[in-house]
Structure 1
Amino acid sequence: MQKEDCFYLGKIVKKYSFKGEVLAKLDTDQPELYENLDAIFLELRNNLVPFFVENSQLHKSELLRIKFEDVDDEADADAIIKSGLYLPLATLPKLEGNKFYFHEVIGFTVTDKNFGDVGTVKAINDATAQSLFEIDRDGIEVLIPMNDEFILKVDRDSKTILVETPEGLIDLYLEE
């Protein structure tokens, strides 16, 4: 399995018990979706290695407590601490309407209701307090906050996102 065919689910942050159980911090708004996994890929030395899950359950709501097959003691658990967790993109639940996964909208065309064609989504910046669409407009970077009030429609068939941004926002990027 290649990394580009997968999505990042989270990271193993610490050991939980002397029987090899670990706690993973998940990068999701819905950790309960991942409570009963059969298998998961761990990133070990830049390779994705499949691990089978004996059992898993939510721990203090934001962490997932996982017992992997063949990880039976603290030494085994130590070997996988800080490993990234990945799942195949095909396992993501399909989102409807204006909800979307960040990777899904890369390459979509963004059109503003008042401004017109803005450009193409080249990346999502989620390192800021509010996630931003990074849009390429003929070599000029335009940033639009991913605010529910701004996003009017996500059309997967035509690969377009219709937004309505505050007046003047897009112009800020285009003025010389």
Structure 2
Amino acid sequence: MKKEDCFYLGKIVSKYSFKGELLAKLDTDEPDLYDSLEAIFVDLRGNLVPFFVESSQLHKSDLLRLKFEDVDTEADADALIKTELYLPLELLPKLEGDKFYFHEVIGFSIKDKNFGHVGMITGINDSTAQALFEIDRDGIEILIPMNDEFIDKVDRENKTIEVNTPEGLIDLYLEE
């Protein structure tokens, strides 16, 4: 399994018991979706290694208490502290309507209500305060904020996102 075929689930933050149990902090709004997993991929020095889950249960709000098969001692558990956890993309819950995962809209085209066809989404920049669509228009990069007020429709069937941006936003990138 390659990392690009997976999504980041969370990170092992501490041991829970002396019998090899671990606590993982999950990066999700719905931790209860992940409390009955059979296996999880653990990133060990850049390789995703499958670990089979013997038992798991939610602990507090966003922590998952895990017991992996063949991790039976404190030393075994210590080796896994601070490792990242991944799951295959197909285990992501399907989103409906205008909600989407960043990875699923790469390659979609963007149409603006006033401007028309803008270009193709090549990436998402989420390192800023507000995430941005990175759009390629014939070699020119256009950035459009991923603001709920701008997104009119996500059409998965036709791989299109319709937006209604403030007048002049797109033109800023096209003026010589």
Query: Normalised by the size of structure 2, how large is the TM-score?
Result: 0.92
Q: How does 1:66-85 map to 2 (within 5 A)?
A: 66-85=66-85
Secondary structure of 1:13's counterpart equals: strand
Instruction: Spell out, residue by residue over 1:77-132, the C-alpha distance to the aligned partner (whole angstroms, 9 max, x if none).
Output: 11112222111112122221111111110110011111111111111122222221
Say whether 1:4 aligns with 2:10.
no
Q: Distance in 2 between matches of 1:155 and 1:132?
A: 18
Q: Deviation of residue 151 (structure 1)?
A: 1.0
Q: How does 1:52-71 map to 2 (within 5 A)?
A: 52-71=52-71
Segments of 5+ residues of structure 2 without an aligned counterpart are: none
Q: Distance in 2 between matches of 1:157 and 1:26?
A: 31
Which residue in the other structure is 1:150 paired with?
A: 150
Q: Distance in 1 between matches of 2:147 and 2:126?
A: 12
Q: How does 1:21-170 map to 2 (within 5 A)?
A: 21-170=21-170
Instruction: Spell out, residue by residue over 1:124-164, the C-alpha distance to the aligned partner (whole angstroms, 9 max, x if none).
Output: 12222222111112222211121112111111111110011
- Count matched residues: 176
Query: Normalised by the size of structure 1, how large is the TM-score?
Result: 0.92
Moved more, 151-160 or 121-130: 121-130
Q: Deviation of residue 76 (structure 1)?
A: 0.9
Q: Distance in 2 between matches of 1:64 and 1:131?
A: 28
Secondary structure of 2:61's counterpart equals: coil
Q: Distance in 1 between matches of 2:58 and 2:124?
A: 28
Q: Distance in 1 between matches of 2:157 and 2:173?
A: 29
Secondary structure of 1:51's counterpart equals: strand
Q: Distance in 2 between matches of 1:31 and 1:102?
A: 19
Q: Deviation of residue 3 (structure 1)?
A: 2.0
Q: Percent identity?
A: 79
Secondary structure of 1:80's counterpart equals: coil
Instruction: Spell out, residue by residue over 1:37-68, the C-alpha distance to the aligned partner (whole angstroms, 9 max, x if none).
Output: 11111111221111111222223312222221
Would the alpha carbon gap of residues 128 and 63 (structure 1) be closer, same or farther in structure 2, given more than 3 Å must change?
farther
Moved more, 104-113 or 139-148: 139-148
Q: Distance in 1 between matches of 2:175 and 2:16?
A: 54
Secondary structure of 2:148's counterpart equals: coil
Q: Distance in 2 between matches of 1:72 and 1:51?
A: 13
Q: Letter of the 2:19 partner, please give it.
A: K
Q: Distance in 2 between matches of 1:14 and 1:165?
A: 45
